[in-house]
Chains A and B, each alone.
Chain A
Amino acid sequence: MQKLRDIVVRVEERDDPDPVINHSNALPIMHEVLHALKRLHEKGETTSIDLRSIPFGPGDEEALLRQLGCGEVSIELQSLGKSTICETLYPGVWLIDHYNAEGERIALNIEINRVPEIVQSQPEDISDAIIRLNGQLNPENFAC
């Protein structure tokens, strides 16, 4: 079945000295990111923005991603399909791109956080790791 994204959209070329300023929905998102970054810095408050819920026009998303760029950290997560996570050119602003096992994008978020929530080791997984490690190092305690 043809998907929406398979329908070719042609973007008219134009003089584009600053792609963010010239594209309709990228600019307000950058402002939202700026305010969220201030809140993170001042109050430790984290924010997540779902880019798939924003009505981008042709070229908007690309312009936004170009403006955010890729910074010092990039992480690949392999859990129920691949996810790529990178810190943008603005420390504290992360781009999180989730795919399912079939390689289809299932979420694209900007997270304003010191480290994205999903990157941190989760308490449930840590407790599972303790059990497994203990089982390997002290097998006699686990024999039943």
Chain B
Amino acid sequence: MAEELKRIGKTLGESLRERGVSRRGFLKFCSATASMMALPPAMVPAIAASLEKAKRPSVIWLSFQECTGCTESLTRSHSPSVENLIFDHISLDYHHTLQVASGAAAEAAREAAMHENEGKYIVVVDGSIPLGNPGYSAIAGISNLQMLEETVAGAAAVVAVGTCAAFGGLPQASPNPTGAVSVSDIVKDKPVVNVRLSQQSSPVYWPTF
């Protein structure tokens, strides 16, 4: 825990160096990221500079109508990589599949993260949101729509991962029995980044954060 607290004030660059990633390794990662995101190589120094200075963001991960494939992909990175070191660097304050707490304790963690990081936290969503009936998908008695709206209200940005969250995906396929919609169908007043690939796309998540 003390170790954890010490890391909170550090930038990503400092944290990676502490974990044995050389600056060369970091530049290589930034080059690959630029290529993967179809950004010109001239952007690599800017990517490196902004990632280097990034402080540990609070991330609230909401899973709605999904198959857990997106979460699987994020936890299934192979041997030590910058991606999973960045994963260590973020503060994943709420993820109902990965966290130990459940029910009221889990919801309290989400509310605390929202309160302490007002205007600065990132909301990640996997899965689509059913509008047909609030009871189709709910967490701790809170419908997906209500949870999304109240969590996004104080967020800096929203990342929709996987085709379900980005475009409605499988749940939205005809005849769309739950009235599934994507995140951007609901969130109109915050930046929404759609990371549309699923399962294979974990290398893309972390630079996005």
Contact = CB atoms under 8 A, between A and B. Distances in A.
Interface of A: 1, 48-50, 52-53, 77, 79-81, 83, 96, 98, 100-102, 106-109, 117-118, 122-125, 128
Given A80-B81, A80-B82, A118 B41 contact: no
Contacts of B28: 77, 79-81, 83, 98, 106-107, 118
Contacts of B81: 80, 100-101
Most buried by A among B17, B28, B29, B42: B28
Given A48-B41, A101-B81, A125 B24 contact: yes
A77 B24 CA distance: 9
In the A-B complex, the 7 residue pairs with the smallest Cβ-Cβ separation, listed nearest first, are A122-B23, A48-B41, A106-B32, A79-B25, A124-B23, A80-B25, A107-B35
A102 B35 contact: no
A124 B32 CA distance: 20
A7 to B, nearest CB: 17
Interface in B25-41: 25, 27-29, 31-32, 34-36, 38, 40-41
B159 to A, nearest CB: 22
Contacts, number: 70
B80 A101 contact: yes
Contacts of A106: 28, 32, 35-36
Contacts of B27: 117-118, 122
A125 B23 contact: yes
Given A50-B40, A124-B13, A109 B31 contact: yes
Q: Is the interface of B mostly helix, strand, loop or mixed?
A: helix
B200 A122 contact: no
Nearest to B79: A101
Nearest to B42: A48
Given A102-B78, A108-B35, A128-B17, 6 more contacts: A1-B200, A77-B28, A98-B32, A100-B81, A109-B31, A122-B22
Interface in B1-55: 13, 17, 21-25, 27-29, 31-32, 34-36, 38, 40-42, 44
Nearest to B32: A106
A101 B77 CA distance: 11
A48 B44 contact: yes
Contacts of B17: 124, 128
A79 B22 contact: yes
Given A48-B41, A50-B40, A101-B81, A107 B31 contact: yes
Contacts of B78: 101-102
A123 B78 CA distance: 29
A3 to B, nearest CB: 10
Most buried by A among B32, B42, B80: B32
A79 B24 contact: yes
Contacts of A100: 32, 81
Most buried by B among A79, A83, A96: A79
Given A50-B35, A102-B79, A80 B41 contact: no
A72 B81 CA distance: 32
Contact of B24 (A52, A101, A109, A122): A122
Contacts of A107: 28, 31-32, 34-35
